[in-house]
Amino acid sequence: MELKTILGYLQEKTILVTGATGFLAMVFLEKILRVQPDVKKVYLLLRAPDTNSANDQMHNEIIGKALFKVLREKLGADFDSFISEKVVAVPGDVTSENLGVQDFKLREEMFTEIQIILNSAATTNFDERYDIALDVNTFGVLHVLSFAMKCILLEMLLHVSTAYVCGEREGLIPEDSSSFMDEKAKGTTKFNFQVREKKVVEKKLNELKARGASEENIRSTMKDFGIERAKLYGWPNTYVFTKAMGEIFLENSRENLPLVIIRPTVVTSTYKEPFPGWIQGFRTIDSVIAAYCKGKLTCLLVDPMSVFDMVSSKSINLLMPPNTTYNYIYIPVDMVVNSIISAMVVNANQSSIVIYHVGSSFGNPIQFCDIHNFVFRHFTKSPWVNKDGNAVKVGKCTMFRTMASFRMYMQICFMIPLQGLKFVSKASGGYFQDMYVNNSRKLTLVMRLVELYKPYMLFKGIFDDNNSEELQKLTSECYIDAKEFNFDPKCIDWEDYFMNTHIPGLRKHVMVQ
């Protein structure tokens, strides 16, 4: 049997990428351009009002990143002309018909040229406004699917989902279709979500507007409404519920379109490519690490013996910024990108649907207590220096295995003292009122976030990756260059990765900013 090449398949291909400013999409773009410069064209869908704005956004938020320094050094003076030749910034939006591409000529060009679509557009906030989450994560998928069906040369639609569409399942979670979600949701598949949920959202928004609700009130109400709808059908939060519905739509509406669904756990810094440790923004456990090394995090609601793929949580420390997200999940982003490219190549032109879990909990598990140990050792050896020039001394975090023990801790350490502060403030004629209000607001926020992220702090599932194993086997047997697209988590030495790659990368690319 004559062996093929993955790079050979990508040659002269035209690709559309949605969610182009996202972490995963940027690493995908960089990899394609670096390893296969003979790709024909890559369209990047960007939320911008016009072409000039889209081009500015592409150069400022994507191409200008340090991520592209290897490619920039490789091409030298030809870098800008290469980007102009290969990459097209397209103003649009997945929440609109035809992906919001207004230019008729450009749209028809895309319909006749595109062979591969990577849909990575999503809002990942666990408590996003329900109307926004639906528009992007659910109905946005339908718009992408509709667009894909108009692409006459289409060979592959790859949709990036999340492993946590499983909800709060325990034990070994298979790479099955969304049929289990249909069953889990019970009555949800008996009606048309596209009609029902739109009507529910419109009714709620109309009620709020009729009452003259402020924008802030509408925002908070719609966030709560999303959680309410998710829990009604058996999911813990708005994000995974809307992503699950997106998968259901894809499976039920794709007809014979070649479809791959990649379900990563949560993605973190690069393992090797284009260089180790690159990361954009606080991701996964990184906000926990940042708070910990600055002495602001002393306790967590987490089972230290849990296998982390990882999970998602929020800080439970009152001193953390109110909008800081903690998504514990570990699979390096370059490995996810390699799995995406491999899946595209292997499944191209197949009128089937294949789902892949891309994570490490099954093949190379790591426990939270090990992560904590790595972080403690790193910042003990190389402490964070605060703005006053003083090295911050770190200690071991207190970990609470149950919500009951955490609530008791919060009651003793924060709630009772807060009530004391309230009493003192009243006795002093309101002298401490501002301090009381500020601390009360923080405490309310912390408890909300802990309730929201509790299912992930104490997650008991392990993600089966049998399909991903088969994909690795198939690529290694059939493609000469399979090693260039490695995504086997078993090769990761977690201690080395944390100590010498991830934490140094976090300090260099994010924390210093």
The residues annotated as belonging to the active site are 239, 243
Contact between 297 and 317 (Cβ < 8 Å): yes
Contact 439, 318 (CB under 8 A): yes
What is the spatial distance between Cα 492 and Cα 490, in angstroms, rounded to a whole number?
Answer: 5
**DSSP run (H or E) holding 156:** strand 156-160
Nearest to 27 by CA among 350, 264, 354, 323: 264
Q: Which tokens go with 242?
A: 């809307």
Rounded to 10°, the helix 403-410/433-457 angle is 170
Q: What tokens were used for 44?
A: 């990047």
Our CA dihedral for 88, 91, 95, 97, rounded to 10 degrees, sits at -90
Q: Which two tokens stand for residue 494?
A: 């977690």
Tokens at 86, concatenated = 């290969």
**Rg of the chain, C-alpha, whole Å:** 24
Q: DSSP characters for 332-367?
A: EHHHHHHHHHHHHHHHTT-SSEEEEEE-STTTS-EE
Q: Rounded to the nearest 10 degrees, what angle do helices 238-253 and 193-210 cross at?
A: 140
Contacts of residue 315, Cβ cutoff 8 Å, sequence gap at least 6:
287, 288, 291, 297, 300, 324, 326, 446, 449
